[in-house]
Structure 1
Amino acid sequence: MNETNLTTEIKTEPNIGNRFAAGIVDYIIIFGVTFFLVFTLGEPNDAGGYSLNGLPGLIPIVFWLIMTVGLEVGFGATAGNYLVGLKPIPKSGTNRKLTFKESFKRHLLDPIDMLFFGLVGIVTIKNTELNQRVGDLWAKTIVVPIKSLSEIKMR
């Protein structure tokens, strides 16, 4: 089956609940590990909290990169997306893992999509033809149910 047939056969859906749950799972893991690192490796600061200084300060950033971009590039989905049965793919509809560039662009805009408790992401998903959030629009990606990809493959 060629790429154009896949594009017409794949139907995107808003999947707001699943996408929200996937984001919650991913960022609970990321923030949990970050807080653990800050309190175990961090040093007390003047404000009464803890700070990661120097090279240890890069560990949470590297962990974020692995948990979002690394998992998408390596396994096809983040932990949260995998748990709820979603997979990001290129806008063309090709069933493949995202490239580093595509995944990085998607996740670099996560903070914008999560503004106002995810309202920005929800509004863009609901008002774009392919149910894309801001990060997906920039990266030219879509998010589809994994089962829809396997149904097309079986035909």
Structure 2
Amino acid sequence: MNETNLTSKIKTEPNIGNRFAAGLVDYIIIYAVTFFLIYTLGEPNDEGGYSLNGLPGLIPIAFWLIMTVGLEIGFGATLGNSLVGLKPIPKNGTNRKLTFGESFKRHLLDPIDMFFFGLIGIITIKNTDKNQRLGDIWGNTIVVKTSELKKTE
């Protein structure tokens, strides 16, 4: 089966609610662990808060990378996407796990896509042919329901 047939068989939908919930789950976990690390490993700073300095400052970044990119390339979806029944796949419709580059590009733009409660992501999802957010466009990926993937197998 060629790429055109695969892409036309895969149905993309905005799934705004599910995508919002998935991002919320993922980033609640990421922020909770980050704040825990800052308060347990951090040192008091002049502003009355805590700071992670040096090598410990890389731990939250590594955790973010594992929770987003690592889970997508290892298991096919983040925890949030798995819970709501969504899976990111390459834009050509091939049902496979994303590569490191595809997934990293998707998530590097999360801060922009999630700006002001996801407004930018929602606008781009609603105004692109394949319901992609900026990260999906740059990563050349789409997000589909896992039930849709089972129909094409």
- TM-score bracket, shorter-length normalisation: over 0.9
Q: Distance in 1 between the 2:146 and 2:82 partners?
A: 8
The residue that corresponds to 2:139 in the other structure is 139
Cα deviation 1:24-67 (Å, max 9, x = unaligned): 00000000000000000000000000000000000000000000
Q: Distance in 2 between the 1:150 and 1:42 partners?
A: 46
The residue that corresponds to 2:70 in the other structure is 70
Structure 1, unmatched stretches of 5+, are none
The residue that corresponds to 2:109 in the other structure is 109
SS at match of 2:64: helix
Q: Distance in 1 between the 2:129 and 2:62 partners?
A: 33
The residue that corresponds to 1:91 in the other structure is 91
Q: Distance in 2 between the 1:11 and 1:150 partners?
A: 12
Q: Distance in 2 between the 1:119 and 1:101 partners?
A: 25
Taking structure 1 as the reference length, the TM-score comes to 0.97
Amino acid at match of 1:5: N
Taking structure 2 as the reference length, the TM-score comes to 0.98
**1:2 positional shift:** 4.0
The residue that corresponds to 2:4 in the other structure is 4
The residue that corresponds to 1:52 in the other structure is 52
Q: Alpha carbon RMSD of aligned pairs, Å? A: 0.7
After TM superposition, the runs of 4+ consecutive aligned structure 1 residues lying more than 3 A away are: none
The residue that corresponds to 2:100 in the other structure is 100
Cα deviation 1:128-154 (Å, max 9, x = unaligned): 00000000011110000001001111x
